[in-house]
Amino acid sequence: MNPNNPYPHERAFALQKRVGKEGETFDHSTRATRPVFGPALVQCGNDIFCLYDGRARWVPNEDVLIAHQHFGPPQKVSADVISSSRFGPQLPTKSFPAALAEMTFSQFRQYLCRDLQGVGLEFGAGPRPMEVPALCRMRYADIFSPAEFAEKSTSMRGRSDPTKFVDIDFQDSMDEMATIEESSVDFIIASHVIEHVRSPLRALKKAFDCLKLGGTIILVVPDRNRTFDKNRKITSLDHHLADFYMPSRERDLEHYFEGSRIVEMFTGEALRARAMKRWADRVDTHMHTFTPESFQEIAEWARSQIGYGEYEIYEGALQTPSDEFYVRLHK
């Protein structure tokens, strides 16, 4: 790691300028030499994409890349070029909501991040960090220490390539953020994380404090109705408020019993032993459940009590069946 680089995961263009269709270069996101197709700056409809590393990614402002002498003006291409297997899956070229039904969930995740700029912080990225615009400077946080994360990476071999796990900048939880300076990041991302924290409202308050004015938090949230939690109760706003104002380890125990009983189907003494053991060991689990409707209550509370401004909650039938919905809140 370069000690002079404060952003070791920076996704700004460090790729070599080259002519030809395929080459090798160093990819900062994986710390490995990987094939790069292109790179090329192209325009499809009104959208600008940067094609590199076999993927197409949004570019919020092509003038920035041109100014850095990475590319000339974008060449216009058809949607077929963007969707070709060589450049990965097709990216949406229409604005929401008209194109929503045409997107896969992977494409829509990129749509969520299309206008992000500056310094970003992602919690729980693991081997699949969100794909953000090319010039964003990313930092990563997780509840696991580097050693624990390395062990987790090894244990997931076969399900995820451990070499793809991001390096951790901060060992911290989303509802604590004790190591993150206030007003230090332009955006925060958490995909399938908010359901694991003890107090989602506290997580939103901490995120608000750490965001710069005008910043955005993006959440990818599992929909209770479409996951293994479908038979659990939807966590009420009253419960979230109790967790926020009066945090209680004993109240947390309810979630371990509910998960062990409804999801894992334990009964009797085995249920008690299972839930108590997981609670005592603070095993990572789904502490809360959400639907788009229940999260709207949370977002409205966050506006009135924390100070967030506008928010968006996206749901709908995508091309690829998905168990998640999407939230953007703005400071």
Neighbours of 58 (CB within 10 A): 20
**164-183 pLDDT tens trace:** 678 889 999 999 999 999 99
Beta bridge partners of 55: 52
State the average pLDDT for the chain: 74
Angstrom CA distances, 181 to 60, 294, 312, stand at 27, 30, 26
Fold designation for 92-331: Rossmann fold (3.40.50)
**Predicted pLDDT at 76:** 62
The 8-class DSSP code of residue 290 comes to B
40-44/75-76 β-pairing: parallel
**C-beta of residue 258 within 8 angstroms of C-beta of residue 266:** no
- Nearest Cα to 329, choosing from 200, 222, 226? 200
| DSSP string covering 185-243 | EEEEEEES-GGGSS-HHHHHHHHHHHEEEEEEEEEEEEBGGGSTTTTSPPPPHHHHHHH
| CB neighbour list of residue 307: distance below 8 Å, 6 or more residues apart | 208, 331
Count of residues in the chain: 331
**C-beta of residue 176 within 8 angstroms of C-beta of residue 200:** no
DSSP, collapsed to helix, strand or coil, labels residue 63 as helix
**Structure tokens belonging to residue 324:** 């998640």
Between CA 104 and CA 82 the distance in angstroms is 14
**Predicted pLDDT at 291:** 92
Question: Is this model's pTM higher than 0.75 or not?
Answer: no
Residue scoring higher pLDDT (124 or 159): 124
**Predicted pLDDT at 89:** 34
Between CA 299 and CA 97 the distance in angstroms is 20
Task: Give me the percent of the chain exceeding a pLDDT of 70.
Answer: 62
Cis peptide before 39 (omega within 30 of 0): yes
**How far from each other are the two terminal CA atoms of the chain, in whole angstroms?**
33
Between CA 246 and CA 223 the distance in angstroms is 26
**Predicted pLDDT at 107:** 75
Provide the residue ranges of all domains of the chain, joining segments of one domain with +: 1-90, 92-331
Flag whether pLDDT at 109 surpasses 70: yes
**Structure tokens belonging to residue 112:** 């969520």
Could you tell me the pLDDT band of residue 321, with boundaries at 50, 70 and 90? low
Residue scoring higher pLDDT (160 or 230): 230
